[in-house]
Structure 1
Amino acid sequence: MMKPLPPEHPMLAPVQLRRDLIADGYTDRAIARLVDAKVLKKLRHGAYVAHDAWEALDHEGRHGLTARAVVKAGKTDLVLSHVSSLPDWGAPMWGLDLSVVHVTRTDHKAGRREAGVKQHRGLLMPDDTTARNGVRITSPERTLIELTTMADLEQCLVVWNHFVHKKLTTIDRVNSRYRALSTGPRSSMEHWPDTLTTELLLRLADGRIETVGESRTQCLFWKQRLPKPVPQYEMRDADGNFLGRVDFAWPEHKVFLEFDGRVKYEKYLREGETAADAVIREKRREERICERTGWRCIRITWADLAYPERTAMRIRNFLFASTATA
């Protein structure tokens, strides 16, 4: 289970509402001057935060902070849901639309949409929500199921794999909650869009897959109908000595694939090592594996994922050329 954010994290910076600032003696003109001076940052109408905290956050963290402002200013109890629960779970948000904060009402009244906010009406059972980092958010299972109503397969798979890899939930638990929602009272899902992709994600999600790049590569394999590889495959020599783990492998073809993402190298940098040093070290590791096993390696990058048909043809040709020459 991932640890909550430390109290000093900028996403947890206190949100100050206009009414509170006015009560403390500030006028609207004074508040505007603080915004102009970059002391305060206006998150949305009537909500502010320290400008330095805002500047310290990435796009995902800023969404999480804005979501807190929505909850604090809400006239009813709100739970952060859908994509807006993801920052507090530390989940990747690749490709997702973060222009709107999503919340679910707890009073079962009809949801409404205002500028930058979508209120959902949903039947939240006790196990569907949890407190995290000082706010109430949807549980991992509820979050993953909700995500399928608003994101495509590739975007969802990135998040589903992360949740399962980080042991925030299991596929069995998600499946159990999904079946309960599907077969329970009609009010449980009557206001949800179609969730057909959930069935597919229950089959595709794999906790062995560790990164956004690997998840997107997995999605490419499925969409392009390539042979299914083994993720995080352990490579050993003829004597059984461990040589390393590779991202994906097709043992029947004696081929492995490595996703070449910069984040991967930054994550495993050794002391005093540059990203270029890590690339060279990784290349030597692959060469050693190939020399000692007789396998072949294919590498793909972020750029390759932008051309799935072309990349799939390259992989397919590599796999079956390997078989033909074996």
Structure 2
Amino acid sequence: MQSPPPDLRLAVRLRRELLADGYTDDQLTRLLRAGVLVRIRRGAYVEKKLWDRLAPEDRHRVLSRAVLRAGHPLMALTHVSAVLELGVAVWGVPLDEVHTTRTDGKGARREAGVVHHSGLLAESETQVVEGVRIGPAARAAVEVMATATPEAALVVANGLLHARHITRPELVAAAQAMKHWPYSLSAHVVVALADGRFESVGETRAFYLCRQQGLPRPEPQYVVRDERGNVVARLDLAWPAYGVFVEFDGRAKYDQHRRPGETLAQYLLREKKREELVCLLTGWVCIRITWEDLARPLQTGSRIRRVLELRRPLGA
């Protein structure tokens, strides 16, 4: 089972708060040397035992809190920093800098670990999530499109759509409103491909690999039913006309779909039986893809192409 995200609401302690509690700078230095605290940026501290167990995404969220607490009250998280606060998985987007925008249009600058953007953001557009102010989700999706690769941006767009933080009309409207932004020329490609049916980073990347390798466009989350019409499986990607489907294997997927008390070995056995049932009902061929396969797009694309060519439908 997937572990719940850590509660970060009280993770950051500012120097001024610790001094108000009776600590001295000398004591803080000793706590740092003893490995009790870690300084994540100037004047901001976190318990080291918490910091050490955080994933990169949650470390970014902690840094975001430190930036907001020490910054201007009209500041809000934007770009990938806002996406992470919505609980959406990201891939291929640098997390070493926190992104903010002020609702008064001022303060655009870059400092160590922080990018303060100059875009226009109305106070009415902000919302509070997990105790922090963020900009609009659809706007964040387009901001990532302007600062990341199309593949990374598609991961974010699909994640926001699947989690229902945004709708497709909202995504289209945000892209249209920001079409003159620098570096947003590929936004129309991402918007055209965006689809809320994708459930994971791996599925989106596998789909994008198919597109980049010139393969026929697969259908995401294809439903397979038994003889009575009962749903027995939803396939990650499928080419019904070819009788081929793709299943992505990744640790996050295992954690998400394992039943309470089910071991990894038990889950893998159940997944194997599920695949066998799908193949028995449909007569289709399964191709399994891993993270390693995604890192070799040419070879993986060729492997999929060979299978599709062998299963090419009559008249195609």
TM-score by length of 2: 0.91
Amino acid at match of 1:31: L
Alignment counterpart, residue 189 of structure 2, candidates 177, 196, 200:
200
Q: Structure 1: any 5+ residue segments left out of the alignment?
A: 183-188
Partners of 1:227 and 1:270 lie apart in 2 by 34
Aligned to 1:284: 273
What displacement does 1:131 show?
Answer: 1.2
When the two structures are aligned, how many residues end up with a matched partner? 312
Cα-to-partner distance string for 1:62-108 (whole Å, 9 max, x where unaligned): 11011111111114631111111122100112221111111112332
Partners of 2:60 and 2:163 lie apart in 1 by 22
Cα-to-partner distance string for 1:99-131 (whole Å, 9 max, x where unaligned): 111111233225111111111111003453211
Cα-to-partner distance string for 1:297-316 (whole Å, 9 max, x where unaligned): 11111111111011111111
Amino acid at match of 1:114: E
Aligned to 2:100: 103
1:161 aligned to 2:158?
yes
Partners of 2:128 and 2:228 lie apart in 1 by 51
Q: Is the 8 A contact 2:241 2:313 kept in 1?
A: no
Q: Which secondary structure state, in structure 2, belongs to the residue aligned with residue 298 of structure 1?
A: strand
Partners of 2:42 and 2:55 lie apart in 1 by 21
Aligned to 1:72: 69
User: Where do residues 111-190 of structure 1 align in structure 2 (5 Å cutoff)?
Assistant: 111-182=108-179
Aligned to 2:305: 316
Aligned to 1:298: 287
Amino acid at match of 2:259: R
Change (3 A) 1:106 1:152: same
Q: Is the 8 A contact 1:10 1:57 kept in 2?
A: no
Partners of 1:282 and 1:14 lie apart in 2 by 38
Cα-to-partner distance string for 1:212-246 (whole Å, 9 max, x where unaligned): 11011011011111101111111134564433211
Q: Structure 2: any 5+ residue segments left out of the alignment?
A: none
Partners of 2:129 and 2:277 lie apart in 1 by 45
Partners of 1:226 and 1:30 lie apart in 2 by 62
Q: Is the 8 A contact 1:113 1:119 kept in 2?
A: yes
Aligned to 1:10: 7
Q: Which secondary structure state, in structure 2, belongs to the residue aligned with residue 253 of structure 1?
A: coil
User: Where do residues 229-308 of structure 1 align in structure 2 (5 Å cutoff)?
Assistant: 229-237=218-226, 240-308=229-297
Partners of 1:131 and 1:280 lie apart in 2 by 43
Change (3 A) 1:176 1:75: closer
Change (3 A) 1:322 1:14: closer
Of 308-317 and 279-288, more deviation after overlay is shown by 279-288
Alignment counterpart, residue 211 of structure 2, candidates 186, 200, 222:
222
Please give the root-mean-square deviation of Cα atoms over the aligned residues, in Å. Answer: 2.1
Partners of 1:253 and 1:307 lie apart in 2 by 23
Cα-to-partner distance string for 1:241-261 (whole Å, 9 max, x where unaligned): 433211111111111111122
Change (3 A) 1:75 1:286: closer
Amino acid at match of 2:49: D
| Structure 1 runs of 4+ with >6 Å offset | none
